[in-house]
């Protein structure tokens, strides 16, 4: 029997001919990522190992993005630990505020995440890079520390669920809706310990930004990875960007899957996930009346150029509802600048939305849009857990940028059709 793309990447990095689901493999890693919350713990653990240098200073990436620009003194101290470590280790891929972006928007943009690679990151949304055909997965700080020392880590080979998307996308339906719908179908542990492989004619036509959104949320179904085989869209995206040579890998025709699930996307309308789990998704027509206090457009899930363009298209010439705070956060400095050049930022400001420098901020209730008791936010982010964006008695609803923009105008969760 053949292998899936995930099995092939693991076999290749573990110097093995073949691997099988369930097998433990020691594999070389191509890139290791940490941020201002997870890297300080990893650095503390790394120092306990007692070796002086990381295995390769070009393959460790450190991004201060969660509580930055530093929100308070304690966060500033954490960010400083990372900055000093980067300098002492001569880490080339350290991105200071002003050069940074939200890690999972920044790394692909910089051509640091490539097909066929293994990328581990001390952040659960590291699975985003699956959109480029990499085996990318979240790990903890201690795993990060050990990998920085050894340049390798261990994996249990996951079985793979294949998701095939067919049909024609409805208007205003994007990668976000496909993944929210999928999580709604299989549940937040529907792919626990497994890999998700997204494929089919719809995926082959899907933009890179929408693919990144889909892979980003694989973790919300419990998956180890959410991978898309590379194709012309991937190669076009990587042109002039890729920082290393790479070799894409593909599933064999006779690869074994634990399940094959097919969806007709014609049946999928824009999705909204209700509190307090991403699996509580339903079509926009079934939402009912949900008044809002805040709308957030941004994050590692939906802070890319395509997302801002869609939001601007809806917000152009309109005003945000008087009861609502609209916060727009471009994913990286480059995205911010391009949005500025295209006049998108002007549209957001004219609509009376606030535009922020890149940060994870509100998504995890850090800063830049924390909710008070009883407040309700609609967000293009990835998690709506209890207390995720602030007070434990606040609420977060998840959606795509079009629904978020339309709802900012009406003051309640609304279909883009209502305002366009």
Partner 1 sequence: MAEMKGKAWKFGDDIDTDVIIPARYLSTSEPEELAKYCMVDADPHFFNKVNKGDIMVARKNFGCGSSREHAPLSIKAAGVSCVIADSFARIFYRNSINIGLPILECADAAEKISQGDTVFVDLKKGVIKNETTGETFYASPFPEFMQEIIDAGGLIDYVKKKLIEEK
For residues 330 and 390, which CB has a smaller minimum distance to partner 1 in the complex?
A: 390
d(CA 139, CA 32): 10
In the structure, how many helices (H) and strands (E) does the chain have? Answer: 14, 18
- Alpha-carbon torsion 61, 67, 68, 71, what sign? negative
Residues β-bridged to residue 164 = 199, 262
Tell me whether residue 324 or residue 371 sits nearer to partner 1 (CB atom): 371
* Strands in 221-375 per DSSP E: 225-227, 259-264, 271-273, 281-283, 294-297, 325-328, 354-355
Give the shortest CB-29-to-partner 1 separation in angstroms.
14
Instruction: Provide CB contacts within 8 A for 398, sequence distance 6+.
Output: 180, 272, 273, 278, 281, 378, 379, 380, 381, 382, 383, 384
Greatest CA span in the chain, whole angstroms?
Answer: 62
Tell me if 167 contacts partner 1 by CB under 8 A: no
Contact residue for partner 1 among 11, 31, 32, 41 (CB under 8 A): 41
Residue placing its CB nearer to partner 1 in the complex, 44 or 110: 44
**In the block, residue with structure tokens 């941004």:** 298
DSSP states of 183-200: HHHH-TTTTTTSEEEEES
Interface pick for partner 1 out of 49, 236, 340, 349 (rule CB under 8 A): 49
Question: To the nearest whole angstrom, how small is the minimum distance from the Cβ of residue 128 to partner 1?
Answer: 13
- Minimum distance from residue 69 beta carbon to partner 1 (Å): 14
336 contacts 357 by C-beta, under 8 angstroms = yes
* Pattern 186-225, partner 1, x by CB under 8 A: --xx--xx-------------------------x--x-x-
The Cα 10–Cα 119 span in angstroms is 11
Q: Is 145 in the site for partner 1 (CB under 8 A)?
A: yes
- The least distance separating partner 1 from the CB of residue 125, rounded to whole angstroms, comes to 9
Subset of 63-102 contacting partner 1 (CB under 8 A): 66-67, 71-72, 74-75, 77-78
User: At its nearest, how many Å lie between partner 1 and the CB of residue 38?
Assistant: 7
Write each residue from 289 to 328 as x if it is in contact with partner 1 (CB under 8 A), else as -, in one continuous string: ----------------------------------------
Among positions 68, 141, 380, 381, the unique one binding partner 1 when judged by CB under 8 A: 141
Write the interaction track for partner 1 spanning residues 378-417; mark x where CB under 8 A is met and - where it is not.
-----x-xxxx-x-x-------------------------
Give the nearer residue to partner 1 in terms of CB position, either 356 or 412.
Answer: 356
Exposed/middle/buried for residue 410 (C-beta within 10 Å: 0-12, 13-18, 19+) = middle
Of 38-46, 101-109, 249-257, 346-354, the window that binds partner 1 (rule: CB under 8 A) is 38-46
Q: Does 136 bind partner 1 (CB under 8 A)?
A: no
- Give the count of alpha carbons within 13 A of 54, CB side only: 27
Q: How far, in whole angstroms, is CA 408 from its chain's centroid?
A: 23
- Dist. CA 420–CA 416, nearest whole Å: 6
Return the range that interacts with partner 1 (CB under 8 A); candidates 128-136, 138-146, 240-248, 345-353: 138-146
Segment interacting with partner 1 (CB under 8 A) among 197-205, 232-240, 363-371, 401-409: 363-371
Q: In this chain, which of 24, 260, 340, 372 binds partner 1, going by CB under 8 A?
A: 24
Please state, as a whole number, how many other Cβ atoms lie within 10 Å of the Cβ of residue 355: 20
Does residue 156 contact residue 24 with C-beta atoms inside 8 Å? yes
Query: Residues interacting with partner 1, by CB under 8 A?
Result: 24, 37-38, 40-41, 44-45, 48-51, 66-67, 71-72, 74-75, 77-78, 121-124, 126, 138-143, 145-146, 149-150, 154, 156, 188-189, 192-193, 219, 222, 224, 277, 364-366, 370, 383, 385-388, 390, 392
């Amino acid at each position: 029997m053949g292998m899936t793309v995930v099995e092939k990447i693991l076999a290749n990095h573990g110097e093995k001919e073949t691997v099988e689901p369930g097998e433990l493999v020691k594999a070389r890693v191509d890139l290791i990522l940490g941020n201002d919350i997870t890297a300080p713990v990893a650095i503390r653990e790394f120092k306990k190992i007692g070796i002086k240098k990381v295995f390769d200073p070009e393959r460790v990436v450190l991004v201060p993005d969660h509580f930055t620009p530093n929100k308070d003194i304690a966060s500033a101290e954490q960010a400083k630990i990372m900055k000093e470590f980067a300098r002492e280790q001569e880490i080339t891929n350290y991105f200071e505020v002003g050069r940074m972006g939200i890690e999972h928007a920044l790394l692909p943009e910089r051509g640091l995440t490539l097909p066929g690679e293994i990328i581990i990151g001390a952040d659960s949304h590291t699975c985003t890079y699956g959109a480029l055909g990499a085996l990318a997965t979240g790990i903890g700080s201690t795993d990060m520390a050990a990998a920085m020392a050894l340049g390798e880590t261990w994996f249990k080979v996951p079985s793979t669920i294949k998701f095939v998307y067919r049909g024609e996308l409805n208007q205003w339906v994007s990668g976000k809706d496909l993944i929210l719908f999928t999580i709604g179908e299989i549940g937040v542990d529907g792919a626990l310990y497994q890999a998700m492989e997204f494929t089919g004619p719809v995926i082959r036509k899907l933009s890179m930004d929408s693919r990144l959104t889909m892979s980003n949320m694989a973790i919300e179904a419990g998956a180890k990875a959410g991978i898309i085989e590379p194709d012309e869209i991937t190669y076009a995206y990587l042109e002039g960007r890729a920082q290393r040579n790479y070799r894409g890998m593909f599933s064999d025709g006779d690869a074994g899957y634990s399940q094959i699930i097919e969806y007709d996307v014609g049946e999928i309308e824009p999705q909204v996930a209700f509190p307090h789990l991403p699996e509580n998704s339903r079509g926009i027509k079934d939402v009912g009346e949900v008044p809002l206090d805040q709308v957030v457009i941004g994050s590692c899930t939906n802070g890319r150029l395509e997302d801002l363009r869609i939001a601007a298209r809806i917000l152009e010439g309109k005003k945000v509802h008087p009861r609502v705070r609209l916060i727009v956060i471009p994913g990286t400095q480059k995205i911010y600048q391009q949005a500025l050049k295209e006049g998108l930022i002007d549209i957001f400001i004219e609509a009376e939305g606030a535009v922020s420098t890149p940060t994870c901020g509100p998504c995890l209730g850090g800063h830049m849009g924390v909710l008070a008791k009883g407040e309700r936010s609609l967000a293009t982010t990835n998690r709506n857990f209890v207390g995720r964006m602030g007070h434990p008695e606040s609420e977060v609803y998840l959606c795509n940028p079009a629904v978020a923009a339309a709802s900012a105008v009406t003051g309640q969760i609304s279909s883009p059709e209502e305002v366009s």
